[in-house]
């Protein structure tokens, strides 16, 4: 188990060696705070666990696309899994080379495919025959060859939240594993495609690795069948999906155990194994730091109103996701309170916690909304014309602002009357 970068020292919550009240003073609130070493150590846990099996760890950029995170991972040797032209642009701006970039997603546009071909990315994870035809045509026009993996739907139940489960027939993602062999056969007619890869991604926040292992077994048999038909598969991309504990009572599989399990099945099969972790690299490395504005009571119900809202962190409203909320200054003598923790946005769905027993915090106190490094800042919006939060990267006892808080001017920059 990798250690958390967030700990109490003398009853002050710290990120690595930096006290979070200092960060709030410099960066303001609400702000996201990330630990550089937590992200790096998780990336290295993946990389190390593969041992000398040929592999690539492609960070799923959609979990958090802050340039500071991308450039740090690029320097550490990571590849990247992107789902849009914008993500490719950010990855390249962060200094990463295109050679370790894979392009996933069910709706790539012609402009995005062209951009990726021109940049020379490693491969496309394709979701339909029509997409194959488009990539083949655009590659031909540009005089390039495009490496293709079909994204297979292995039809295993990821046993996760319905919005983040993707590996069943009923989902929009992937191509049915029953149909995929014929599509590879037909795709041989496309002369600008290199057909040497298969991919899948069955869902997110998997706390049980068994469905991932089951998907791997199905993918390995598929590779055997494709090879028997003369389609020489060299790359197997198993996608992301490893979960993290959002509650103290939850247990997630360790990165090392999970990778060791799948490595053992792939050893000797003559494939380069790729994974696309997003959440498991960054979720536990980040918090959302917020200040209490007010307390109020409606009847018997307590509300703690904080300066962060659903536009900053939508996971509780969208998935009813649980995020622990901890006081930055711990004072056990104050006891606890059971309350809804809510933001200033004018929606009843604007809550960060419901009926939660948390430390008895008061206006002016700082709170850390935990495990917010993944699918937090990237899903933020300007709803209610709220300026997006600052983002801070901490390492050791230092930290810097890696995305400044938006200004009111930023809110109108792209508009005209
Ligand atoms: C979202 C996504 C990932 C990352 O999933 P995590 O659960 O964050 O690890 C990887 N691959 C694809 C294709 C995705 O859509």
pTM, two decimal places: 0.96
User: What are the extents of the domains in the chain?
Assistant: 6-34+285-412, 50-281
From 383, 290, 297, select the one nearest 345 (Cα to Cα).
383
Cβ of residue 276 lying under 6 Å from some atom of ligand 1: yes
Average pLDDT over residues 178-203: 96
| Identical fold, 6-34+285-412 and 50-281 | no
Q: Which atom of ligand 1 is nearest to the CA of 243?
A: 7
Pocket test of ligand 1: the residue of 60, 199, 282 to mutate, having most ligand atoms within 8 Å of its CB, is 60
Q: Is 143 exposed, middle or buried (0-12, 13-18, 19+ CB in 10 A)?
A: exposed
- Is residue 170 pLDDT above 70, yes or no? no
Nearest-CA residue for atom 10 of ligand 1: 240
- At residue 114 the predicted structure's pLDDT band, cuts being 50, 70 and 90, is very high
Q: What share of the chain is helix, strand, coil (3-state, %, to 5)?
A: 35, 30, 40
Per-residue confidence (pLDDT) for residue 168, from 0 to 100: 62
3-state DSSP call for residue 358?
strand
Pocket test of ligand 1: the residue of 241, 252, 275 to mutate, having most ligand atoms within 8 Å of its CB, is 241
User: Is 200 an active-site residue?
Assistant: no
Average pLDDT over residues 142-171: 80
Average pLDDT over residues 309-320: 96
Q: Which atom of ligand 1 is nearest to the CA of 279?
A: 8
DSSP bridge partners of 274: 56, 237
- At residue 1 the predicted structure's pLDDT band, cuts being 50, 70 and 90, is low
Pocket test of ligand 1: the residue of 197, 278, 286 to mutate, having most ligand atoms within 8 Å of its CB, is 278
Express each pLDDT in 220-250 by its tens digit: 999 999 999 999 999 999 999 999 999 999 9
Express each pLDDT in 330-358 by its tens digit: 999 999 999 999 999 999 899 999 999 99
Task: Flag the least confident range among 140-149, 165-174, 299-308.
Answer: 165-174
DSSP assignment string, 363-411: TT-EEEE-S-SSSSGGG---GGGPPPPEEEEEETTEEEEEEPPPPHHHH
Cβ of residue 243 lying under 6 Å from some atom of ligand 1: no
Average pLDDT over residues 186-199: 97
d(CA 20, CA 416): 39
**Residue 239 backbone dihedrals phi, psi, to 5 degrees:** 75, -165
Cβ of residue 279 lying under 6 Å from some atom of ligand 1: yes
- Which residue did the predictor score with more confidence, 1 or 326? 326
Average pLDDT over residues 377-400: 98
Per-residue confidence (pLDDT) for residue 171, from 0 to 100: 72
Average pLDDT over residues 385-402: 98
Pocket test of ligand 1: the residue of 79, 101, 239 to mutate, having most ligand atoms within 8 Å of its CB, is 239
In angstroms, what is the span from residue 241 Cα to ligand 1's centroid?
6
Cβ of residue 376 lying under 6 Å from some atom of ligand 1: no
The mean of the pLDDT values for the chain is: 96
Spell 166-200 as b/e; 16+ CB within 10 A means b: bbbeebebbbebeebbebbeebeebebbebbbbbb
- Is residue 166 pLDDT above 90, yes or no? no
- 291: enclosing H helix or E strand: strand 286-298
Torsion of CA 73, 121, 163, 260, to 10 degrees: -60
**Residue 165 backbone dihedrals phi, psi, to 5 degrees:** -95, 135
Q: For the domain made up of 50-281, give the CATH fold.
A: TIM Barrel (3.20.20)
From 240, 237, 174, select the one nearest 375 (Cα to Cα).
240
Cβ of residue 240 lying under 6 Å from some atom of ligand 1: yes
Per-residue confidence (pLDDT) for residue 164, from 0 to 100: 57
Cβ of residue 211 lying under 6 Å from some atom of ligand 1: no
- Is residue 163 pLDDT above 80, yes or no? no
Cβ of residue 201 lying under 6 Å from some atom of ligand 1: yes
For domain 6-34+285-412, give the CATH number. Answer: 2.40.37.10
Identified catalytic residue from 31, 126, 200, 346: 346
In angstroms, what is the span from residue 390 Cα to ligand 1's centroid?
25
Per-residue confidence (pLDDT) for residue 169, from 0 to 100: 65
Distance of alpha carbon 48 from its chain centroid, rounded? 20
Average pLDDT over residues 254-277: 97
Per-residue confidence (pLDDT) for residue 160, from 0 to 100: 61
Q: Which atom of ligand 1 is nearest to the CA of 125?
A: 13
Per-residue confidence (pLDDT) for residue 157, from 0 to 100: 75
Percent of the chain whose predicted confidence (pLDDT) is above 90: 94
Average pLDDT over residues 92-113: 97
The token pair that represents 166 in the structure block: 């993707």
Cβ of residue 403 lying under 6 Å from some atom of ligand 1: no
Cβ of residue 79 lying under 6 Å from some atom of ligand 1: no
């Amino acid at each position: 188990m990798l250690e958390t970068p967030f700990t109490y020292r003398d009853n002050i919550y710290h990120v690595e060696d930096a006290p979070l009240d200092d960060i709030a003073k410099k960066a303001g609130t609400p702000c996201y705070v990330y630990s550089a070493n937590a992200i790096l150590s998780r990336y290295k846990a993946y990389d190390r666990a593969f041992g000398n099996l040929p592999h690539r760890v492609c960070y799923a950029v959609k979990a958090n696309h802050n340039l500071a995170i991308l450039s740090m991972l690029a320097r550490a040797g990571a590849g990247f899994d992107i789902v849009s032209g914008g993500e490719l642009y950010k990855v390249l701006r962060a200094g990463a080379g295109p050679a370790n970039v894979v392009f996933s997603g069910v709706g790539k546009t012609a402009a995005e495919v062209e951009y990726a071909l021109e940049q020379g990315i490693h491969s496309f994870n394709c979701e339909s025959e029509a997409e194959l035809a488009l990539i083949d045509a655009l590659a031909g026009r540009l005089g390039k060859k495009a490496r293709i993996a079909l994204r297979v739907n292995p039809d295993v139940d990821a046993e996760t939240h319905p919005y983040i489960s993707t590996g069943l027939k009923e989902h929009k993602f992937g191509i049915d594993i029953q149909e995929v062999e014929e599509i590879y056969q037909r795709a041989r007619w496309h002369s600008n495609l290199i057909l040497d890869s298969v991919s899948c991604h069955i869902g997110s926040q998997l706390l049980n690795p068994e469905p991932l292992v089951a998907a791997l077994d199905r993918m390995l048999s598929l590779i055997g069948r494709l090879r028997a038909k003369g389609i020489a598969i060299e790359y197997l991309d198993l996608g992301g999906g490893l979960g993290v504990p959002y509650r103290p009572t939850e247990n997630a599989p360790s990165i090392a155990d999970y990778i060791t399990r799948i490595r053992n099945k792939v050893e000797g099969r003559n494939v380069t194994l790729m994974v696309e972790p997003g959440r498991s690299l960054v979720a536990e490395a980040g918090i959302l730091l917020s200040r209490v504005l007010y307390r109020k009571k409606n009847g018997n119900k307590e509300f703690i109103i904080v300066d962060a809202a659903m536009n900053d962190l939508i996971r509780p409203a969208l998935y009813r996701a649980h995020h622990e909320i901890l006081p930055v200054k711990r004072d056990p003598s104050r006891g606890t309170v059971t309350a809804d923790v809510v933001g200033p946005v004018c929606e009843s769905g604007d809550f960060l916690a419901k009926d939660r027993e948390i430390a008895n915090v008061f206006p002016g106190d700082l709170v850390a909304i935990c495990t917010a490094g993944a699918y937090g800042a990237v899903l933020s919006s300007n709803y209610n014309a709220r300026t997006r939060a600052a983002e801070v990267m901490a390492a050791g006892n230092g930290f810097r602002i890696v995305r400044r808080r938006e200004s009111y001017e930023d809110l109108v920059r792209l508009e005209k009357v």
